[in-house]
Structure 1
C-alpha cells in the first residue's frame, strides 16, 4: 500500500510541480503587468467562483471513489452532472448581483468560471477513481500553468482585470474537457436519460456528503471571500490585493503537495485493511508534513518582507509584511490541507462540519481583532495566533481517532 500511494503521489506531484512552477515563476511578471487594485478585484471575483465551485456537485463527486462497480459509478456521475448544471445556472444571478453591487462587469462570466473550477474538481475525482493519475497531472498543468501564461499574454495587451479573469476561466475549461474522457459506462448522453427514481436512491445512499460536507466545504471557501470583503471595506481594493497575493504564494506549497497527496491518500484510507493501518497512515503523513512545514515557516519569519519586495517590486512590499505575520498560520495550514480527505474516508463529516464552523469563528475573530488593533499587518498576526490552537486540536483529534471504518481482509 505504501508503494502504491508513493507512486500515485509522485505522479501527481510531478504534474503539480510543473503546473505551479509556471504561476510562481510568472508571478513577478504579473505583478508588474497588473496593479494591486486589479489583483484585489480579481481575487474577490475568483473567490466567489471558487465558493460555488466547491459545491458544484453538492459534494457527491467525493463519493465516486467509494463506488467500485462501473454501473453504480455511472449513476453517481449522472447525479453529479444534473446538480452541476443546476448550480452553474444558479450562479448567473450571483454574477449579476456582483456586477450591480461592486461594478464588476466581468462578473457576468461567473457561470463559466464556476463550470471551469467545479468541472476540474468533479472530473478530477472521476479520474482518481480510475487511478488515471497521469491524466490528472496533465489536467493540473493545463489548468494552473495555462492560466498564468494566458494572464501574462492578456496583460501584455493591457486588458487589466479582464486579463486576470479570462486566463483561469479558459484554462479551467480546457482542463475540464481533458478530464471528461473516458466517459462513464454508457457514455455522457446516457447519463442524461437516467430515471429520476434511481438518482434519488443514489442521492439518499450518499446523503452525508451534501448534508455535512457541502456546508463544510462552502464555509471553508466562504472564509476567503468574506476575508477579502472585510479587508477591502476596511482598507480598500489595494489592501485586498496585498492579502490575496500573499495567500496565493504562501498557500502554493500546500496546494502543490496537498492536492497531490490528498488525492493519493483518499483511496488508500478508504481501502485500509484495519483501523490501526489507517491511523498509522494519517500519523505518518502528519509527521512528514510537519517536518516540511517547519523550514517554510522559519524562512517567512526571517526573510518574508525582503523576499516579497525583491520578487514582486516595491509596490508590493506590504505583502512581505503580511507573509511574516501569517508564517505560523501558513505552516499549520500546510499540514492540515492534505488531511481534509481523512474525515471523508472515515465518514466523520458531521464532526468535521462542526469543527469547521468553530474554525470560521476563530479565524474571523483573529482577523477582525488584528485589523482593529494593528491594521493589515495586525490582521496577519491575529489570524496566526487565533488559528494555532484550532489546528493543534484538529491534529490531535485525527491522530487519536478511534471510530475508523475499514475493509475486511479477503
Structure 2
C-alpha cells in the first residue's frame, strides 16, 4: 500500500496486524459460509452412521498429518534467510512422503482389524487411501507456513475457501450421483484437499527455487530446529491423540451413529471458531515470532482479552439456540447433535481464547511446559469418556467443564512463560559501590 493510499484509507487498514486479520477473516468467512450453506443438504444425504465412519477415517488422517513433517513445517517461519526456509520446506516434504508411505502400508495391512474395532467392515477398503489423504493435508500445512512467512494472507484465505468448499461440493456431487455413504464422504474430501494443495503449490512456487542460495545444509537446519520434533512434535501428537482419540472412544463406547452426531456438532461449532480464531492464530504466530523481549506478556494478554471479547456473543447464541436449531436446519435425525453442541460450549469457548497464545511456547522455546499440560489435557477427556456411564450428553457436559478449567490453567501458564521471557531482557542490578 503506497503512501497516498495509506493517507486516504481507514485507520484500521493502515495497521498491518488488523489488515492481515481482516484478509484471513474474509477468506475464512467465505469458506465457512459455503460449508454452512451446504451442510443442511449434506446432512440429509448422508446419515449419522456415514459421518461416524468418516470421522474414524478423518481422525487417523488428522493425527498423521500433524506429525508427518515432525513439525519442521512450523520451523519454516523461523530462519532469518528465505533460502534457509526453502531448504526446510524441502526437508519437510521429504519427511511427509516417508511418513505417508509407511502409513499406507501399515493401514492397508491393519485395515480389517481397524474396521472390526469400530464395528463396520465397509470402512476397511478405504483405509488404503490414508497415506494419500495425509500427504495432501500435511503439504497444505507446510505451504501455508511458507505463505504466512511471506505475509501472503490473501492466498491463504482463498485456499481455505477452495479446500472447504471444494470438499463440500464434491461430497454433494457424489451423493447426487448415487455414490454417497462412506464412499462419497472420503472421495469428496480427498478431491477437495487435492484441489487446494495443487492451487497452494502454484501460489507458493517460489519456495521451490533458489535453494542453492542457502549456505546451510538441510542436516544443519534440522539440527538447529531439533526442538520442533523433540518438544513441539510430542505436543501436537498428544493434542491429535486427544481430539481424534475422543472420536474413536465415542465410536467404541457408544456407537457409530452417536459418533456421527458428535462429529456434526463439532463440525458446526468450528464455524465461530474458524471465523474468529483461524485468522487470529495465523497472524499472532507471525507477530509473536518477531516480538522482542519485553513485549511478550503484553502481546499475550492482549490476545487473551481480544479473543474472549470476540467469542462471548457467538457462544451464548450457540448455547441457547443449538438444541432447537440443529434438527430444524439439519433434519430431524440430528436432534442429539444440538444437545451435544450445547454441552461443548464451555470447552470450545476457552479453546477459542487459548488457541492463539499456544504459539507463545514455541517462540519462547518452552514447549516442555506445553507438553506437560497437553498430556493432562489429552488424558482427562479420554479417561472420563471411558469411565463415565449413561447418557452421552451428560457425560460430554462433564468433560467440557473439566476441559475449560484445564484451559484456564493453560492461559495462566502462557502468561507466566511470557513474563519470564520478558524479564530475561532486564539487566542485572549493579553491585553497590563502597
Show structure 1 runs of 4+ deviating over 4 A: 405-408
Partner of 1:135: 155
TM-score normalised by length of structure 2: 0.87
1:151 aligns with 2:138: no
1:198-234 per-position Cα deviation (integer Å, ceiling 9, x unaligned): 2221111000100111111111112232212221122
SS at match of 1:58: coil
Partner of 2:98: 86
The within-5 A match list for 1:217-256 is 217-256=236-275
CA offset at residue 187 of structure 1? 2.6
Match of 2:338 among 296, 303, 320: 320
| Distance change (3 Å), C-alpha of 1:106 and 1:186 | closer
Partners in 1 of 2:379 and 2:368 — Cα distance? 17
Task: Name stretches of at least 5 consecutive residues in structure 1 with no aligned partner.
Answer: none
1:264-321 per-position Cα deviation (integer Å, ceiling 9, x unaligned): 111211111332x222121111112112222233223322210111111111101111
CA contact (8 A) 1:219 1:357 kept: yes
CA contact (8 A) 1:269 1:345 kept: yes
1:397 aligns with 2:413: yes
Partner of 1:210: 229
Partners in 2 of 1:362 and 1:234 — Cα distance? 16
Aligned length: 401
Partners in 2 of 1:220 and 1:232 — Cα distance? 19
Partners in 1 of 2:176 and 2:358 — Cα distance? 38
Partner of 2:5: none
SS at match of 1:404: helix
Partners in 1 of 2:136 and 2:355 — Cα distance? 22
Partner of 2:396: 380
Partners in 2 of 1:94 and 1:143 — Cα distance? 27
Partner of 1:308: 326
Task: Name stretches of at least 5 consecutive residues in structure 2 with no aligned partner.
Answer: 1-11, 116-120, 426-434
CA contact (8 A) 1:366 1:386 kept: no
SS at match of 2:217: helix
Partner of 2:33: 21
CA contact (8 A) 1:22 1:149 kept: no
Partner of 2:59: 47
Partners in 2 of 1:379 and 1:269 — Cα distance? 37
| Distance change (3 Å), C-alpha of 1:405 and 1:174 | farther
Larger Rg over CA atoms: 2
SS at match of 2:391: helix
Match of 1:56 among 53, 64, 68: 68
Report the RMSD for the aligned CA atoms in angstroms. 2.3
Partner of 2:194: 173
Partner of 1:119: 139
Q: Which moved more, 1:240-249 or 1:328-337?
A: 328-337
